[in-house]
Structure 1
Amino acid sequence: MKSWWRAGVALAVVSTVAAIAMQAVAGQWFPPPVSVSQYGIGPWGWLFSVFVVTMSAAPLVLERCSPRPSPAVRGFLWTGLAGALVMAVVRTDTGGAQASWNAKVHMIGSIFCLAFVPLGMVTALWLRGGAARVVGLLEIAVVEVAIVLLLAAAAGLDTAGLGPTRSWAFWQAVASVVCVLMVVTMAVALRPPGGGRRELLEDHTRPDAPVGGDASILVQEDPVSTRALREHH
């Protein structure tokens, strides 16, 4: 389980580094003038591909650490990852006209990615419960508002006070950043428990948990705590 968690965190780190690098080499920081997909055009377009694929793959890997695995969560995340792979392979048009077939295919991929990856993550966080559920709901609310305003900008409305085109790019950037934050939330919420004193916090309903016995046997590799507990009894 820890190996899955480390792999998911590694993907999240790569995604963040790629996101920063693609903006730096383009000389255009969020929000971009046209759209996030424009980072995929040119010799450094592979950084955009790395960003969208690793950002979408990270939650799928982290979900393997969930104490409540869900086929629905994995279905959402696999669908979103498929959309990300389409975005990574099929480029959009320069300038954001989206007149060519490849630009339209890219746009379809982005819709699936932006819709299903956050949906999968918030479902996983909902199943985790506690603070993770609350934070996940707040994050998905921001993503959904951004998508609505993004679509309104696509219809010609100035939803960010930057003009329709820049408003589209602004809300797309907002949704992308919050998706990255949702990956971080998943990493924190699904981090596997450690050893040593943390064993005291393990679920007492485990099949191997002692019933009515000395609580000190739950402590591993911590002789000081073991001695203190025995003296207490």
Structure 2
Amino acid sequence: MREIVLDTETTGFDPLTGHRIVEIGCVELFNHLPTGGTYHQYLNPERDMPEEAFRVHGLSSQFLSDKPVFAEVVADFLEFLGDSKLVIHNAEFDMKFINAELARLGFPPIPMTRTIDTVLMARRKFPGAQANLDALCRRFEIDNTHRTHHGALLDSELLAEVYLQLIGGRQPGLELGASKGQRGGAADQPSQVDRPIRAARPHDASPEELEAHSAFIGKLKKPIWLREPE
């Protein structure tokens, strides 16, 4: 089962008022394990960068000025997504920006039914508790000390770890198998264990056991195996 953990950074809160995506980060999961596959792209939003947004992600207009526009990367982006489920923290926010960018280029929208919203998962699992990414990293003891700004790829990597904890945590030993690319082969089988060979135990009854058995049988009154058939 392939899933894509996805995050975006933007110039603001609403694409309908002219705000655009400035960064996309994706992490690939296969059977709930990171494969090492990622997609990361900075984008020129073709507009200015509001100060409030800059304080969040630290991406300036000058830094983004020589980056590609969304139209130049859309084919590679959609190819990476494929038809996989999309794991997103507050999926409605990111999807409205992605679908607004797609609509500008005449592409059909990506349906919300393809998304798994980790904010909703966290709120169901921990009612009343904070559900932002930093709070969930603290809860699950995931190191996010290097997160001085929001960053789409970094946040996707952290979210992948949070998501695995929300669905029950990693199973011990699976990481090693996945890192070696072993899926269902002979290498997955338990290694052979050398065991000492023991001689078979005798099961025949001794004369003393046969004599004791006969004495016991003799005490039975009308055993069923001696009755005449009716």
Q: TM-score range by the shorter chain?
A: under 0.3
TM-score after normalising by structure 1? 0.26
Higher helix proportion (structure 1 or 2): 1
Higher strand proportion (structure 1 or 2): 2
TM-score after normalising by structure 2? 0.26
